[in-house]
Amino acid sequence: MSDTPASTRTHQGPILVEWATLAYTLFTTLLIVLFWSQMGNPLQLLEGRCMVVGGMALLWLFYHLRPNKYILLLRYIFPLSLLGYWYPDTYEFCQLFPNLDYLFAAADHALFGCQPSITFAQWIPQKVWSELFHMGYFAYYPLIFLTVLAPLFTDRSQFSRTAFVVLASFFLYYLIYLFLPVAGPQYYFHAVGTDVIQSAHFPQLGNYFRYHTELSPSPGPDGFFRELVENTQKTGERPTAAFPSSHVGMSTVLMLLLWRNRRYLFAIAFPFYIFLCCATVYIQAHYLVDVFGGLVTALIFFKLTDWTYTRWRKIRVEG
């Protein structure tokens, strides 16, 4: 029996993406209560979580009253649409802990003898390369839509699995970001100064990013895609979520899903994936060690979430 929006089967309780969202919502709610006195605006955070649960409950009610594939599709899409809310939300938690950027900047220097996020853009400063890398970085968002929605047109039996793997993998990254306060070069270098970094001095900033969220402009000459990336970062970026790189990690998960779905979709997306991974360092969003962290965690999270979905389906069938 299928869990796709095309299925005629009625889902009486929450579907798996809703369970994942409820679990993450409950866990972060407990953290809000635990760190209440230290949170910037805990009531607003709780209100947001109430709206998330209320939205899912409302869709479940509509579906319970009138089961159909369109409302079922909305029940999948709604939790996925909240990823843009949960990402900056991680900042509200990680800023409670002392910043660790100095360790990751030092790791880049120790491993590579330089700061790749500085030297990369200096090595190829031409506008054509800048635009290609910024295009790749911005392609992250269309790549998510392509991966999640493609099964609706190719193999609907894979839709619910794909939606869960994507959502649950994002949540696994967010769980790390809640407790690992690494802002990334575009924040850290801006705060301490590029000259200080290039002298191989990496000062500790403590709780600096609790009160400062300024980031350096993206490197490279002005261009269409550079402006798109900068505008996106101005509205949704926070000094959080640098290690491991979810851009690299999640795009790798997406590529694995596209490979399993249709190889031609993988082939179309692959050049954008390469530019995306390179762009994370080029635009100073990440240290190079973040990229390797993203690649390793992507393989782990993909296997874990895919196994979880398979196990859940087996339990439902046997039950």
CA distance 79 to 21: 7
Q: For residue 267, is it within any domain?
A: yes
Q: For residue 58, is it within any domain?
A: no
Q: pLDDT tens across 4-30, in order?
A: 665 545 667 899 999 999 999 999 999
Question: What's the pLDDT score for residue 234?
Answer: 83
The range of the structural domain enclosing residue 190 comes to 96-318
Which amino acid appears at position 51 of this protein? M
Q: For residue 244, is it within any domain?
A: yes
CA distance 283 to 306: 32
Is 73:5 a contact under the CB 8 Å cutoff? Answer: yes
- 218: which 2 tokens? 């993206």
CA distance 36 to 91: 15
CA atoms 309, 310, 316, 319: torsion sign: negative
pTM (2 decimals)? 0.95
Question: What's the pLDDT score for residue 104?
Answer: 99
Question: What's the pLDDT score for residue 7?
Answer: 54
Helix spans in 150-262 (H): 159-179, 185-192, 194-198, 224-236, 246-261
Structural Rg of the chain based on CA atoms? 20
Cβ neighbour number for residue 128 with a 10 Å cutoff: 10
Lowest mean pLDDT segment, chosen from 133-142, 234-243, 291-300: 234-243
Q: pLDDT tens across 187-243, in order?
A: 999 999 999 999 999 999 999 999 999 999 999 899 999 999 999 888 889 999 999
Question: What's the pLDDT score for residue 8?
Answer: 45
Q: For residue 10, is it within any domain?
A: no
- Beta carbons within 8 Å of 308's beta carbon, 6+ residues apart: 164, 168
Is 70:5 a contact under the CB 8 Å cutoff? Answer: yes
Q: What average pLDDT is seen over the chain?
A: 95
Q: In this prediction, what percent of the chain has a pLDDT beyond 90?
A: 91
CA distance 283 to 228: 13
CA distance 275 to 290: 16
Question: What's the pLDDT score for residue 260?
Answer: 96
Is 266:143 a contact under the CB 8 Å cutoff? Answer: no
Q: For residue 120, is it within any domain?
A: yes
CA distance 101 to 133: 24
Q: Report which of 210, 172, 232 is spatially closest to residue 41, judged by C-alpha positions.
A: 210
Q: For residue 47, is it within any domain?
A: no
3-state secondary structure of 219: coil
Q: pLDDT tens across 23-39, in order?
A: 999 999 999 999 999 99
Q: pLDDT tens across 254-265, in order?
A: 999 999 999 999
Question: What's the pLDDT score for residue 10?
Answer: 61
Q: What is the mean pLDDT of residues 163-188?
A: 99
Q: What is the mean pLDDT of residues 174-185?
A: 98
Provide the number of structural domains found in the chain: 1
Question: What's the pLDDT score for residue 1?
Answer: 37
Question: What's the pLDDT score for residue 214?
Answer: 94
Q: pLDDT tens across 86-113, in order?
A: 999 999 999 999 999 999 999 999 999 9
Q: For residue 56, is it within any domain?
A: no
Q: For residue 270, is it within any domain?
A: yes
CA distance 23 to 171: 10
